[in-house]
């Protein structure tokens, strides 16, 4: 078999931009050309089993027979991390390529996408050390810890705001583990070869309307019951899952802190804000080619992949 080029197609975009549907459509178009493609998820919350309605996880029907990777791979009690995800996603991409299948990386978690595609090495972690630092944080507060960080590494401290306890703790952890810590992300340089990056752009007002409709639909589809069920499975015990957009608001409702209507509105507002943040992140990546979301997106992306595959063969 002649060696052919297998590009990675990355489809980025805000939540509710339609990237999932486009990714599936692209895979199906390629399939009809005799090019196999499968989807690798790059949405942080889709990894959790049982978190379906609130994450707008594509149903089997919506997946249209296209295999999806890194969806439903862990329980809500576990804390997903970028570092884990990086390893898993790169593994999936390599495995697909080895099989001659085009990986379509679809998702809206910008840090995850960055970590998968670009050269970023995450220093390790140590549970005991982390626990100690967090206990200390409770004692002395974030400002004191930040001061200590500043004494150990002025540079690292400069990149972290004093109020940000989370990042301060991690910086101290890494310094203790490795001796130094870098508080700035590396630039844009692919660690995975041959990547085509596209972004779907949706006008703000259109996206906002979609988000609102989508959240209402989640409620209608039984989102609150989904959360109730997950609570029994330990949703509150995890470190990450319960903070997911919508889930946190429903939990607040179940705890009596919000009315159900307030929880719904807060979810809409939170999702809207999240979409802004996503955009801010993706916009900075100069390699992304932006497409106005619309009918022809799948065609455009499929032909970009096709061209690349044929060129390489």
Partner RNA sequence: GGCAGGUUGCCCGAGUGGCCAAAGGGAGCGGUCUGUAAAACCGUCGGCAACGCCUACGUAGGUUCGAACCCUACACCUGCCA
Q: Tell me how far apart the alpha carbons of residues 262 and 126 are, in angstroms, rounded to a whole number.
A: 39
Under the binding rule (CB under 7 A), the answer on residue 54 touching RNA is yes
Helices (H) and strands (E) in the chain, counts: 12, 6
Under the binding rule (CB under 7 A), the answer on residue 288 touching RNA is no
Under the binding rule (CB under 7 A), the answer on residue 67 touching RNA is no
Under the binding rule (CB under 7 A), the answer on residue 185 touching RNA is yes
At closest approach, how far in Å is the CB of 25 from RNA? Answer: 20
What is the residue whose two structure tokens read 């608001």? 249
Polymer length of the chain: 313
Instruction: Supply 226's token pair.
Output: 């989904």
List 65, 91, 186, 203, residue binding RNA (CB under 7 A): 186
Under the binding rule (CB under 7 A), the answer on residue 239 touching RNA is yes
- Between 21 and 83, CB nearer to RNA: 83
Stretch that binds RNA, among 31-39, 103-111, 224-232, 251-259 (CB under 7 A): 103-111
Under the binding rule (CB under 7 A), the answer on residue 159 touching RNA is yes
Local structure of residue 237 (DSSP, 8 states): G
Three-class secondary structure of residue 153 per DSSP: coil
List 281, 287, 303, 306, residue binding RNA (CB under 7 A): 281
Q: Which positions from 108 through 147 interact with RNA, judged by CB under 7 A?
A: 108-112, 120-125, 134
Three-class secondary structure of residue 246 per DSSP: coil
What is the residue whose two structure tokens read 């390599």? 94
- Between 83 and 291, CB nearer to RNA: 83
Stretch that binds RNA, among 18-26, 37-45, 292-300, 304-312 (CB under 7 A): 37-45
Under the binding rule (CB under 7 A), the answer on residue 16 touching RNA is no
Q: Tell me how far apart the alpha carbons of residues 177 and 106 are, in angstroms, rounded to a whole number.
A: 34
**Contact between residue 265 and residue 172 where contact means Cβ atoms under 8 Å apart:** no
> Under the rule (CB under 7 A), what is the footprint of RNA?
15, 43-46, 54-56, 79-84, 108-112, 120-125, 134, 159-161, 163-167, 169-170, 174, 182-186, 204, 239-240, 243-246, 248, 266, 269-270, 272-274, 276-278, 280-281, 284
């Amino acid at each position: 078999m002649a060696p052919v080029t297998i590009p990675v197609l990355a489809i980025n975009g805000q939540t509710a931009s339609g990237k999932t549907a486009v990714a599936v459509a692209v895979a199906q178009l390629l399939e009809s050309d005799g090019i196999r493609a499968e989807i690798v998820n790059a949405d942080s919350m889709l990894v959790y089993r049982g978190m379906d309605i609130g994450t707008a996880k594509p149903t089997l029907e919506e997946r249209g027979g296209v295999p999806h990777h890194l969806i439903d791979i862990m329980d809500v009690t576990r804390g997903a991390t970028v570092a884990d995800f990086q390893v898993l996603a790169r593994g999936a991409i390599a495995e697909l390529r080895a099989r001659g299948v085009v990986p379509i990386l679809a998702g809206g978690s910008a840090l995850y996408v960055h970590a998968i595609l670009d050269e970023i090495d995450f220093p390790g972690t140590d549970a005991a050390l982390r626990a100690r630092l967090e206990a200390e944080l409770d004692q002395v507060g974030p400002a004191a810890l930040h001061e200590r960080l500043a004494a150990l590494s002025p540079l690292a401290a400069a990149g972290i705001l004093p109020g940000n306890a989370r990042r301060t703790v991690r910086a101290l952890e890494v310094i203790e583990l490795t001796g130094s810590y870098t508080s700035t992300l590396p630039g844009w340089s692919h660690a995975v070869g041959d990547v085509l990056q596209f972004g779907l752009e949706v006008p703000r007002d259109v996206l906002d309307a979609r988000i609102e409709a989508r959240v209402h639909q989640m409620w209608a589809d039984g989102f609150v019951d989904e959360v109730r069920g997950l609570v029994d499975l330990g949703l509150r015990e995890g470190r990450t899952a319960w903070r997911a957009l919508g889930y946190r608001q429903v939990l607040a409702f179940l705890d009596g802190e919000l009315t159900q209507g307030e929880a719904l509105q807060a979810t809409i507002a939170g999702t809207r804000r999240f979409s802004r943040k996503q955009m801010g992140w993706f916009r900075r990546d100069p390699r992304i080619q932006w497409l106005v979301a619309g009918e022809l997106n799948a065609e455009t992306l499929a032909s970009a992949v096709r061209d690349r595959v044929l060129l390489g063969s």
